[in-house]
Amino acid sequence: MATSRSGPRTPGGGLAGRALACLESRKNLAGCTGGLAGLALTFTGLAGAYWPVVVAGLYAAGALIASPERLPAPEFPDASSRLDAVREDFGTLREYLDAVELPPAASGRLTELLELLDGLLAPGWMSRALAADPGGVHLLSRAVHQDVPEAVDTFVRTRWWTRIAPGAEPPERQLEQQLALLHREAAALAAGLRETEARRQRSHTRHLEDRGRNG
């Protein structure tokens, strides 16, 4: 027997929730303040026979001048927290790679790449520099989550087919080329971070020089 997917209505949801939100809105509160001012004029006799119009008009005026409700902006993980997640996944990737047998040349290139990635992901000033570079965090995330595991897994599957149907290009050549390209990409990221720190150092030197001349 089919059951309804909708659960029981909570007191804060549905029509009751929307009505409560409307009553608590800034516009309604400001309108009520204007309406109370209209009632005060009525009790003092200043509104006369048109007091309903005065009260309604002051309520509408208060509601119109009230600032609109502002929805809170969504919060997303910052680059530092994303880097922590990539660092944890990098450990998982290394466990997988340790169990894969690769030819010596490809294994050497992979070791060089992993050492570079490990240095970039190591906690410390490098992580702080990367946190200010969302593009760099994205590059490392893509390398750990997609590029490296796909390159190795594709090699393993292609090597199996090559063994039962020899004659094609050795798959390790493609793997070596892929690992070399990934290493070049990571090295460029490291060089960019190093240059950023060098510029910061030069800027601090100029600041000290200017302070000494002006002091």
Q: pLDDT tens digits for the chain (215 residues)? A: 334 444 444 444 465 555 555 545 655 555 566 556 555 655 565 555 555 655 566 566 655 555 555 666 666 666 667 888 899 999 999 999 999 999 999 999 999 999 999 999 988 777 778 877 888 889 999 999 999 999 999 999 988 777 666 666 788 999 999 999 999 999 999 898 888 888 888 998 988 888 888 86
Which residue in 48, 193, 54 sits closest to 129, CA to CA? 193
pTM: 0.61
pLDDT at 130: 81
| DSSP secondary structure letter of residue 78 | -
pLDDT at 161: 72
Residues 96 and 182 in one domain: yes
Is 144 buried (19+), middle (13-18) or exposed (0-12) by CB count in 10 A?
Answer: buried
Q: Are 27 and 66 in contact (CB under 8 A)?
A: yes
Residue at 187 is within a domain: yes
pLDDT at 83: 84
Residues 189 and 110 in one domain: yes
Tell me which of 5, 35, 65 is where a domain ends.
65
Residue at 71 is within a domain: no
Residue at 43 is within a domain: yes
pLDDT at 215: 65
Which residue in 83, 101, 114 sits closest to 183, CA to CA? 114
Distance of CA 65 to the CA centre of its chain: 36
pLDDT at 212: 80
Residues 153 and 88 in one domain: yes
Structure tokens at 141: 């995330």
| Cβ partners under 8 Å of residue 190, min gap 6 | 116, 119, 120
Q: Distances in Å between the alpha carbon of 7 and those of 17, 20, 21, 43, 50?
A: 16, 21, 21, 49, 49
Task: Detail the DSSP E strand segments found in the chain.
Answer: none
Tell me which of 9, 37, 65 is where a domain ends.
65
Residues 58 and 112 in one domain: no
| DSSP secondary structure letter of residue 45 | T
Residues 55 and 107 in one domain: no
d(CA 149, CA 141): 12
Full residue range of the structural domain in which residue 55 is found? 21-65
